[in-house]
Amino acid sequence: MTHILKPPFTLIAPAKLNLFLHINGRRDDGYHELETLFTFLEFGDDLTFTVTHEPDINVIGDTNGITLTDNLIYKAARLLQQHCGCQQGATIELLKRLPMGGGVGGGSSDAATTLLALNKLWECDLSLEELAKLGVTLGADVPVFINGHTAIAHGIGEQLENVELPQSWFCVIHPGEHVSTAKIFTHPDLKRDTPKLKVDWQTENLGNDCEPLVKKLCPEVEKVLQWLLKYAPSKMTGTGACCFAEFSTQAQAQQVLAQLPDKWTGFVASSATLSPAHKALNAHFAMK
């Protein structure tokens, strides 16, 4: 019989957008040097954590048939448990809203949110820096979700420089295609020679170096980008397949979403300088 230690606790695993993504070169270890601007959205997966006496870790819900030991949520929980020598366990229920292979960080966000939540619930008391060092072993995007602040990332994505941006509303469209990050980053045609940003990066011509290749390999992405162009400048996030346009009001973004062809899916969400996962954690544990 499983003994529950605390009431279930639900936390959002937010989406991210890459407002630009430049690839500066390829390292000897196969990773890429890049520069990218991450922002969070007030939209994402929901993870519900139930802490147990027994050390077992279970992941239930919308797991898309991924085996337990291959699931990033499980890997994150087990990594933290082993690092801290924690004797407690957890059942983690996933409500999936973010598309897999969409470039909005779903898997990385789920992993980071698991580390953030269980660090508190298991009373591990690791700092964000310590959690980020664990997280980068799970994926290069995990540290930005641990950091929880709009930031420019350098290196392989782990060197973060917090920035402040005005609030915007985004219409995010998924073309129904899965784009493999590994396939894009190993493709010989990927652009890998964009110069490093200057100090005043906001005056530079910013784009996504993955976009030309993804449009070539996945024509549906190009169709979404062209469709969005009718309403606002369009961009692709990460290695795709999601594309987005930025608006100053929720109503403008919703009007675009309302015109969306049936073959695609999408959502509207506000940007968030501080990750909604961090805001919820701060509010919940400030009451303790």
Catalytic residues: 16, 141
**Whether the bond into 269 is cis, omega within 30 of 0:** no
CA distance 194 to 256: 32
Cα 84 from chain centre: 25
E strand residue ranges, 100-158: 151-154
**Whether the bond into 241 is cis, omega within 30 of 0:** yes
Q: Report which DSSP code applies to 11.
A: E
Q: How many residues does the chain have?
A: 288
Q: Using DSSP bridges, classify how beta strands 89-95 and 57-61 pair: parallel, antiparallel or unpaired.
A: parallel
Q: Is 115 helix (H, G, I), strand (E, B) or coil?
A: helix
